[in-house]
């Protein structure tokens, strides 16, 4: 079967036949029933806003099962999954080594609120193979890790203000749920009800990829900036890949102003490579945050830095941070199993090559058809943007009107058995569980769907 698929997809993707048109909508009857019931219990029927499918057609799919690169919904529909629980399932769903390790550890209990040897084991695995951290602290989520990193930066420097970038998302921490006002350098304006203006006033929001803006911010708020925080590679609002020269500029200007550089690697950490975007750019951030990938997808986060900076965290120092479930043994077990696999020789080379070939083949097809589509990718992360721009490096570079095309693409992909995040601003992820066969099937579905999208333009 693999050989026949290879023959089918050999040569120029532009020579492939166009699809016969839109596919009939899959059945969502049970998911729709569950969604209506969920509305009685949860705001909007969901426990995280993007799950409500407000940016795409139809009701949310309620997922019942995941295995390898597949998920199944409550109606029994099977999908090749490129969401992977929003990135951390780099080995795929229900990986046997992760599952077996978790099952083994669970026999002894699932939560203690006390130290376990598993914390030491996972920490040693990380620190020995990641030169950007000397000491770490586990948390229960990426948001919590970022919140703690910000507090640490303020406590370490004795300064209060934070610089963040428009288009970067760092979890739902109050001081970071802000957007830019008008002007080059602005105090943050709250982007969520319930966030006091006084919190947002400590956050300065500037455009990405703008040296003048970061210099102006440091000049305007001289000796007041504790830290600059940026996603390792911004991937929560499209895939906004920054030039290495710009990232090194951030590193240098932070040093000049005695501010810390924080890399939020909740998405990129252990995904681009074991050392994430920091190694990708060859930049040493002062503090790094990571997310669920270090727990095999279970609820966990982590922040780390030099031993000197981390020495300011309680009980060694005066910066308080705690968590009853921090270092939860089940999450630690899953992380040990997953990260051990990531350290296998050639793991990232094989995964990243596979993802690159997948993304580039879709781009070749779009280019041959003169479709206004660019497939941006780095490591095993990809993003399909309806644009003719060769670079998208800031939030302003994204055309909101292009999301109408994404809505059609999302529906067509679901109807062809492909699951991606329900927003055109979200990236996709290739996992080690995606074989060439599944990637060829997914590619065919994407190409057919693009034909439908652009036929209806």
- My answer on whether omega of the bond before 315 falls inside 30° of 0, hence cis, is yes
If we measure between CA atoms, which residue out of 87, 70, 73, 83 comes closest to residue 297? 87
Nearest of 256, 251, 199 to residue 222 by alpha carbon: 256
- Exposure pattern of 59-87 as b/e (b: 16+ CB <10 Å)? bbbbbeebebbbbbbbbebebbbbbbbbb
First-to-last alpha carbon distance for the chain, in angstroms, is: 35
Establish whether 391 is a catalytic residue.
no
Q: Which two tokens stand for residue 149?
A: 């990193």
Which one of the listed residues 159, 292, 374, 405 is annotated catalytic? 292
User: Quick check: 382 and 427 in contact, CB under 8 A?
Assistant: yes
Is 264 designated active site?
Answer: yes
Q: DSSP label at 334?
A: H
Q: Using CB atoms within 10 A of its CB, is residue 360 exposed (0-12), middle (13-18) or buried (19+)?
A: middle
180 vs 207: CA distance, rounded Å: 8
Write the DSSP string, 180-247. Answer: --SSSSEE-EESSTT--HHHHTTEEEE-TT-HHHHHHHHHHTTTTEEEEEEESS--SSS--PPPHHHH
Q: Which residues of 188-200 are buried (b: 16+ CB within 10 A; e: fewer)?
A: bbbeeeebeeebb
Of 210, 264, 286, 451, the catalytic one is 264
169 classed as catalytic: yes
**Burial class of residue 346 (count of CB atoms within 10 Å of its CB; 0-12, 13-18, 19+):** exposed
DSSP 26: P
Count other C-beta atoms under 10 Å from residue 170's C-beta: 26
Set 35, 156, 169, 425: catalytic member = 169
Give the residue among 286, 266, 268 at the shortest CA–CA distance from 277.
268
Q: Which residues fall within 8 angstroms of residue 430, CB to CB, at 6 or more apart?
A: 82, 351, 354, 355, 358, 380, 382, 439
The total of other beta-carbon atoms located within 10 Å of residue 96's CB is 10
Q: What gap in Å lies between CA 286 and CA 343, rounded to an integer?
A: 24
Hey, which residues are catalytic here?
169, 264, 292
């Amino acid at each position: 079967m693999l050989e026949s698929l290879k023959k089918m997809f050999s040569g120029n993707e532009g020579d492939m036949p166009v699809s016969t048109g839109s596919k009939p909508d899959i059945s969502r009857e049970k998911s729709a029933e569950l969604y209506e019931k969920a509305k009685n219990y949860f705001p909007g029927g969901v426990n995280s806003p993007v799950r409500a499918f407000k940016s795409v057609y139809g009701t949310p799919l309620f997922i019942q099962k995941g295995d390898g690169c597949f998920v199944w919904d409550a109606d029994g529909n099977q999908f090749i999954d490129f969401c992977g629980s929003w990135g951390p399932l780099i080995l795929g769903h229900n990986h046997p080594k992760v599952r077996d390790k978790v099952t083994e550890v669970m026999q002894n209990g699932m939560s203690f609120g006390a130290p376990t040897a598993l914390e030491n084991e996972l920490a040693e695995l990380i620190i020995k193979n990641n030169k950007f951290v000397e000491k770490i602290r586990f948390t229960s989520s990426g948001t919590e890790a970022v919140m703690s990193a910000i507090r640490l930066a303020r406590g370490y420097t004795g300064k209060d203000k934070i610089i963040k970038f428009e288009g970067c998302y760092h979890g739902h921490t109050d001081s970071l749920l802000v957007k830019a006002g008008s002007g080059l350098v602005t105090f943050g304006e709250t982007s969520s009800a319930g966030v006091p203006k006084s919190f947002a006033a400590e956050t300065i929001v500037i455009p990405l990829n703008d040296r003048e803006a970061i210099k102006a911010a440091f000049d305007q708020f001289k000796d007041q900036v504790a830290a600059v925080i940026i996603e390792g590679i911004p991937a929560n609002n499209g895939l906004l890949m920054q030039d290495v020269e710009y990232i090194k500029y951030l590193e240098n200007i932070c040093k000049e102003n005695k501010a810390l550089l924080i890399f939020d690697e909740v998405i990129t950490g252990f995904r681009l490579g074991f050392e994430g975007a920091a190694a990708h750019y060859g930049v040493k951030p002062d503090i790094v945050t990571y997310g669920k990938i270090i727990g095999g997808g279970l609820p966990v986060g982590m922040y780390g830095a030099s031993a000197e900076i981390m020495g300011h965290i309680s009980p060694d120092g005066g910066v308080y941070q705690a968590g009853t479930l921090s270092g939860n043994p089940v999450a630690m077990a899953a992380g040990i199993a997953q990260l051990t696999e990531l350290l296998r020789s050639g793991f990232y080379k094989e995964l990243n090559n596979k993802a690159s070939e997948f993304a580039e083949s879709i781009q070749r097809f779009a280019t041959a058809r003169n479709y206004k589509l660019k497939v941006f990718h780095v490591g095993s992360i990809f993003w399909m943007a309806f644009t003719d721009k060769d670079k998208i490096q800031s939030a302003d570079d994204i055309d909101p009107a292009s999301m109408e095309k994404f809505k059609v693409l999302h529906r067509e992909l679901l109807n062809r058995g492909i699951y991606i995040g329900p927003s055109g601003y979200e990236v996709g992820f290739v996992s080690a569980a995606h074989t060439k066969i599944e990637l060829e099937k997914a590619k065919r579905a994407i190409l057919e769907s693009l034909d439908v999208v652009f036929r209806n333009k």
